[in-house]
């Protein structure tokens, strides 16, 4: 964390930014050359190093629209292939998770590239860990 000068009129927002920037490479640096040091199965890990190939700009826009619709009450239209851009205006966006939109978009990109799921090989232990249920508070886990 950098030193924050409390005499600066923006010191509180700088402090909040620093305190909330502890989750990974993208929290403190969004330059294209930042490391892919997240969990391997995420866009911040090995999976994120994959170059997008064979798609047009329209394909990528379609992936965005499908990713957004997947997060709304319009997801059935994506599944059955009847979605249209105009469906975006019928969505209730108030409860839509923007990070889920981005993650769904990237899954659609992988599907268009015929590489979905683009997950690096994981050990059996890692797969088991991912499939385990959240531990209860009695077992030392925490509710989110």
- Over the Cα atoms of the chain, what is R_g? 19
pLDDT tens, residue by residue, 68-82: 999 999 999 999 999
**pLDDT recorded at residue 24:** 59
pLDDT(144) > 70: no
pLDDT(97) > 60: yes
HSE-CB at 38 with a 13 A cutoff on CA atoms is 16
Token representation of residue 128: 């088991």
pLDDT tens, residue by residue, 111-135: 999 998 888 665 566 656 655 644 4
**pLDDT recorded at residue 83:** 97
How do the domains of the chain map onto residue ranges? 7-49, 50-119
pLDDT tens, residue by residue, 15-40: 877 766 656 555 657 888 888 888 88
């Amino acid at each position: 964390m950098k030193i924050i000068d409390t005499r600066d009129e923006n010191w509180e927002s700088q402090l909040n930014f620093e305190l909330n920037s502890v989750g990974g490479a993208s929290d403190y640096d969004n330059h294209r050359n930042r490391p892919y040091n997240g969990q391997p199965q995420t866009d911040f890990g090995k999976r994120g190093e994959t170059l997008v190939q064979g798609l047009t700009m329209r394909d990528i826009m379609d992936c965005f629209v499908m990713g957004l619709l997947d997060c709304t009450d319009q997801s059935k239209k994506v599944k059955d292939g009847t979605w249209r851009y105009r469906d975006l205006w019928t969505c209730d966006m108030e409860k839509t998770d923007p990070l889920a939109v981005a993650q769904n978009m990237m899954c659609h990109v992988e599907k268009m590239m015929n590489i979905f799921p683009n997950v690096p090989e994981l050990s059996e232990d890692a797969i088991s860990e991912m499939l385990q249920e959240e531990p209860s508070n009695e077992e030392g886990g925490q509710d989110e």
